[in-house]
Every structure is written in C-alpha cells, then in structure tokens.
Structure 1
C-alpha cells in the first residue's frame, strides 16, 4: 500500500480497506514484534502519501493510535521507534489533512494530556532516584515523542500552539531532573528546536532554562546540539534572541574550549 500510494490518491475509497488491514491484530496490535513495527512504519508512509485524502479517517485513526499507545497491555510491547512513528503519524493526521484549527486543538489535547501526565508520573516516582538510567531512557523517549508529534505542524494555528506550549514545563522538568543524561539532553535539544519552529517568539522566555543545563553538562558528542539551538535562535529571531542566549554564549564557548583541551 505504501509503495503504490499514487493509487490511493486516485482511489481514496481504497483507503478504508488499507487502514483496516494495518490496524488491529493484523497490523499495529499483531503479536509478532516485526509485524507491529512494519505496520507502524508503513502507516506513517501511507499517511504521508495520502495527505488530505486521510481527512475522513482522522477521528478513527487518531483514536485508534491513542488507544494503542495508552493501553497498559499493548503500549509496553511497542519499541521506541514504533512509538515515535505513531506520534509522528498522529501529528501528520492532525496537521496535514485540512481539519479546522479548533478540531486540531481538541484532538491534540486528547493525545498530549495523558502523555504529559505520564511524564509527570515518572518525575514524581521514587524510581527517578533509584533507577535514573531506566528513567532517563523512558523520559528521553517521551520528550522525543512530543517532538515527533510536532512535525505535522509547520505553521501551527493558535489552538495548536496553546497545546504544544503546555508541554514545555514537563519537558523542561525532564531536562532539569536528569541534566547529566546524554539521552535526555539530546532529545530535549531536538524538542527545543521543534518548539522554536512551532511556537515562535513564545518560546523565548523558557530558552535560558533549557540552554543552561544543556551547556553546563554537554560533552563532545552533544555540544553541537547546544550550538545548533543557539544558531537557530539567532537566525530565526535576530536581535530579539539576545535576551534568551546572553547568559549561555560565553559559558558555551568556555565549555567548547575545555572540551577541545580535553578538560570537559
């Protein structure tokens, strides 16, 4: 179906059969992990290819995906990549199929609210102190999921911006809780870059809080992430970015000097 996507554009009536085949126990909920993974990936490809032809199926598809990723029995069976594919698919369904902004906001809230709550649950759990490595894996993937979800929105409406903006405190809390975890820093850097694109100037007040732990804790592998965020802010906002990056530029240059000298 993904390979022959031009046929789906010419015959959108076939989409229902394709979606039925990819969902349920024959696809996304199949007991074999390889079938599940391929179904998650190919569903993303189909949604990308079908575009606005997916409009009649948005409610059903988003509801089905949300039911899967929130199911306590099925969600643990999904790999990290499977989950990211499903979040990206959800973003495309909401942002690229032509549904009104008010509906985008409603659907997005239904997806984001339980996801943010799951992040807060981990942050408040004793496991954060007892098993920071496992929590770092879980939380970094959760932050990445929001970044992937946001890929569906190039110029989001105010209704979408509001919902995405509500994810910022939770993702910032993840970074502040585990700043020494390279996976967390990396995923939060990607998230920040996506929010710069999606939220515009509304993201500037929280930028210093993101950059400080990223710069302080970065190593040779992820120093480029902090650099890219600073560069992106300068390119997108020009002089308006000064207040957001002023406290980070000199410490970042000092950190780069230490890393180059083998100190950091």
Structure 2
C-alpha cells in the first residue's frame, strides 16, 4: 500500500470517527447537556411580614386587627405570614395580653410562622419567659417550605445581646437547618438585625463583631436569598456579604410610627417588597 493510499484511508477513518462523536454523545454530555439547556421553573409567590406588635401597649390590638383584615383581603395568594418578634412588650407573663395576641393571630388565614423578640423572652427573666413562649407560641427554630424555597426562622437574641441560652445555640441550629435545606434557596428570618443601629443622630453598636462575622459567613456559605428582620421599627436595607437584609417597620405605634406590614414578592431567587400602611 502506497503512502498516499494510507493517508487517504486514515483520512476517511478520521472523518468517520468525528461523525460518530457528533452523533453519539459521551456520558457527561448526555447528563449535563439537556439539563443546562432547560430553563429553570418559574417560581413566583407572595408572603407577608409583620413585626413588633408589642401587645400590651396602647392601640396595638386595634392596629393588629386592622393589619390582619388587610392581609386577609389581599388580592394575591399569600403563602405565609412571618412575625419577626416582639409579640408583646415585656408582657409574656401577663395572661390577658398573651390571650389577646393569640386571638388576633388566629384570624390570619395564611399559615403563620412566629418568633420571639427581646421583649418576649426577657434576658433578666429568660427561664420563665422562655417556658411561657414555648407553651403558648411554639419553637425557637422554624423550618417550612413553599414551592421549593426553605423558610428558616431562628431566635437570635442570644447573639444580639450576647447571653447564653441553655440547650439552644442559634448559630448551630441555623447551620443544621441550612444543611437540611441543601441546595434549595432559603429565606432566613429573625428579630434583631446583626447590623449597627442608627438613631438619635448617632450609631449604636449592634451584635458583637465576632458573632456577626460568624453569622454572615454562615449565611454566605449557603443558598440564602435574603434575611428578614424587625426590631428597628424602621424600613432599612443592608448587605451581609452577598445576602440582602430587609428590615421592616412595625405594627406598634412607638415614637409616633404609622402601623405597617410588608408584602414580599419572590420570583426565581429574587425578592422585592411593598410596605403597606394601616389606614
């Protein structure tokens, strides 16, 4: 066989191999190709945040009742309602106040997920108020799922005020919950924001810097789309690394605040909101 003939045969073999490669994909391509080509499912829903109702202060019952009425009448379907703490105003040991709050929340038609704030489980009396909270309202860690999105609520006042709470470590509990959520998008909610607090024309220190750094690192190590908080009685927006922090204004009328709640719209990993004021 001449060298030219050998070259001609080799060339035909080469073209045949290339054709087979084009027709028959390798295993990796067959697994990755179709999935990469498919558009993600359109995940779109609404949920509501209320915060700092402070039952036991003037007009709170009336303000909360109006907010509940407005939430129930919203034209969009609400997946859930989050209450980000300070249910009462240091009144957890006052049974009529607790009963009034529970009666108001019972009227909410959507599923309600509620957490305590610094005026619910009171540091100086945390054993007694913790027991009441668990008995009347529920757990310190909440895990719920809506349309593939994990909602994780965690009681973080031991981090905000830097005090120990026996058998409950917020960072460890949140880490475990995020691990259970896996790769699913997550929304984390709690009471006191980890950032500094600006009021009376000066900055007030927030969480201990070491605890704040651990919190931020943990959030950014997972698929957390947003953190939602209350406590400030103001609308604020911050960034915890790549994770946005949304702080909502309150139901309670302290400092002359107009009562409000917030409607969040989740669409494919992004969150927007509208603040609604009580008429």
TM-score range, shorter chain: 0.3 to 0.5
TM-score of the aligned structures, taking structure 1 as reference length: 0.36
Structure with more relative contact order (C-alpha pairs < 8 Å, separation 6 or more): 2
Tell me the TM-score normalised to structure 2 length. Answer: 0.35
Query: Which has a greater percent of helix?
Result: 1
